[in-house]
Amino acid sequence: MDFNDTPDEAAFRKEVRAWLDANATRKSDDKQSFRARNDDPELLAKAKAWQARKAEAGYARMTWPKEFGGRGATPILQVIYQQEESNYLVPLGFFDIGLGMCIPTMMAYAAPEHLKRYVKPALHGDEVWCQLFSEPAAGSDVAGIRTKAERAKMPDGGDGWVINGQKVWTSGAHYCDYGIVITRTDPGVPKHQGLTMFFLSMKTPGVEVRPIKQISGGANFNEVFFTDVAIPDSQRLGKVGEGWKVALTTLMNERLAVGLPSGGLDIDELMELARDTDLDDGPAIKNQQVRGKIADWYVQQQGLKLTRYRTLTALSKGQTPGPESSIIKIVAAPKMQDMGAFAMEIMGQGGIMKEQVPHAAGFQAQWIGGAGFRIAGGTDEILRNIVAERVLGLPSDVRVDKDIPFNQMGKK
């Protein structure tokens, strides 16, 4: 039992490190980051440049087939690349959804000529993709979407569709070039059966993107409005009415992408704060309640990191990982919220002030951001359902809407 690479992995890691040394700047310490702000246009340009270089070197999506610019490699090699890359000051994060979810969906359902047209620019960072699934009335229940697509003739006389409706929580829609969008094409059948998937240019007339400001102050997500957006039938992915099957492909890829939340403040900073801050009876670190909390969160932090190592071990052995990684966000999100709140409590009344002590703003951001993290990408409640059903084999919740045509579903 060890954390070591196999000889092949070690050789690959060495190769990657050499390439990164030659092409990027190593971080001075592991807390340093590129300070990525998704709304910085210069950052996007830098990210595109880095993505291009990476793609040229064949590191961008190593698990993809060679014909699409990959290496047909095992997932563990991709993980090793990412581990190494995380030690360098490079701008990341813009392409994860596109390459992790949208393009794999395209690969499964798009026509060869479309793959020829879209895969390479996406891989090389020339074009960024987003996923247009959630709607105001369809969050946890994605299949409850209402955005309509109706058959129509295109100006050139070809078959096409007109889309009307609204999407929400679309990451990066404001800088994306393309998106995949799930729509309702038949409201007269039960909800999972009337859906159809398309891809489209975000510059198509009638598409309007508005940023959503969050409680945390950030605005990484968007609302996207569709008003008589006309697209040709050739942009359909999968059969008409089989959009749910297509969406499951996309969402399955999302599950594989879930990793550990990285960066951000954690036990080290909490210990530092507790060492440097007095409570009523002396340094906080001497207080057994503080120590108890630190220990609990340390056990969780370590537990998640080590659980990730178990998953990587399976990948390294070419096996399918177990379901253990399904616990990650269930643990990490409340921990983020609670630890932030507790750090604020250690600071006393002054815990409400931004930027007065080294990590004040950081812990406040965890406290408030944790509230969002408990919701985004699957709420606490949905994730527990998933563990109960998929891991423990318990029955699904009673579904009252299963066999009812979508347009017959009354609210009461």
Partner 1 sequence: MNFDFSDDQKLLKEQIARFLADKCPLKVVRRVLDGNEAFADEVWKGLVDLGVPGIGIPEEYGGLGLSPLELCVAAEEIGRVAAPVPFDTSVVLATEALKLAGSDAQKKKWLPLLAAGKAIGTLATAEGAQTPRPSNVRTLFGGGRLNGRKVPVADGEVATFAVVLAKNSLVLVELAQKGVARKGIETIDPTRKHCELTFTDATAELLGAEGEGWRLLERLYDAAAIYFAFAQVGGAEAAMYMARDYALQRFAFGRAIGSYQAIKHKLADCYVKLELARSNAYYGAMMLTDGGADLPLAAAAARIAATEAYDFASKENIQTHGGIGFTWEADTQFHLRRARVLALSIGGPMAWKDRLVTRLEQKNAA
In whole angstroms, how close is the CB of 76 to partner 1 at the nearest point?
A: 7
Cβ-based neighbours of 406, under 8 Å, separated by 6 or more? 184, 187, 188, 189, 190, 191, 194
Query: Does residue 233 touch partner 1 according to CB under 8 A?
Result: no
Which region among 67-75, 194-202, 228-236, 376-384 touches partner 1 (by CB under 8 A)? 376-384
User: By CB under 8 A, how many residues form the interface with a copy of itself?
Assistant: 8
Query: Does residue 189 touch partner 1 according to CB under 8 A?
Result: no
Partner interacting with residue 65 (select from a copy of itself, partner 1, none; CB below 5-8 Å by kind) = none
Query: Does residue 140 touch a copy of itself according to CB under 8 A?
Result: no
Query: Does residue 392 touch a copy of itself according to CB under 8 A?
Result: no
Partner interacting with residue 299 (select from partner 1, a copy of itself, none; CB below 5-8 Å by kind) = partner 1
* Residue number with CB closer to a copy of itself (239 or 286): 286
Within 16-55, the residues that bind partner 1 by CB under 8 A are none
Q: Counting Cβ atoms within 10 Å, is residue 9 exposed (0-12), middle (13-18) or buried (19+)?
A: middle
User: Quick check: helix, strand or coil at residue 259?
Assistant: coil
Residue 330 to residue 302: CA distance in whole angstroms = 15
Partner interacting with residue 396 (select from a copy of itself, partner 1, none; CB below 5-8 Å by kind) = partner 1
Residue 13 to residue 2: CA distance in whole angstroms = 17
Query: Does residue 260 touch partner 1 according to CB under 8 A?
Result: no
Query: Does residue 400 touch a copy of itself according to CB under 8 A?
Result: yes
Within 250-289, the residues that bind a copy of itself by CB under 8 A are 287-289
Q: Which of 337, 339, 362, 366 binds partner 1 (CB under 8 A)?
A: 337
The single residue listed with the structure tokens 């045509």 is: 405
The DSSP H or E segment spanning 230 is: strand 221-232
Residue 363 to residue 63: CA distance in whole angstroms = 37
Partner interacting with residue 374 (select from partner 1, a copy of itself, none; CB below 5-8 Å by kind) = partner 1
Q: Which of 31, 285, 320, 339 binds partner 1 (CB under 8 A)?
A: 285
* Residue number with CB closer to a copy of itself (7 or 395): 395
Residue 83 to residue 102: CA distance in whole angstroms = 23
Q: What phi-psi label fits residue 26: left (phi over 0), alpha (psi between -120 and 50 degrees) or beta?
A: beta
Concatenating the DSSP letter of every residue in 104-136 gives HHHHHHS-HHHHHHHHHHHHTTSS-EEEE--BT
- Active-site pick, 254, 272, 324, 345: 254
Residue 210 to residue 85: CA distance in whole angstroms = 32
Q: Which residues pair with 279 in a beta bridge?
A: 282
Partner interacting with residue 163 (select from a copy of itself, partner 1, none; CB below 5-8 Å by kind) = none
Length of the chain: 412
Which region among 33-41, 95-103, 224-232, 403-411 touches partner 1 (by CB under 8 A)? 403-411
* Residue number with CB closer to a copy of itself (94 or 297): 297
Roughly what angle, to the nearest 10 degrees, separates helices 360-373 and 267-276?
A: 140
Query: Does residue 396 touch a copy of itself according to CB under 8 A?
Result: no
Annotation marks residue 254 as catalytic: yes
CB 304 within 8 Å of CB 258:
no
Query: Does residue 10 touch partner 1 according to CB under 8 A?
Result: no
Annotated active-site positions, please? 254
Report the interface residues with a copy of itself, using CB under 8 A. 287-292, 398, 400
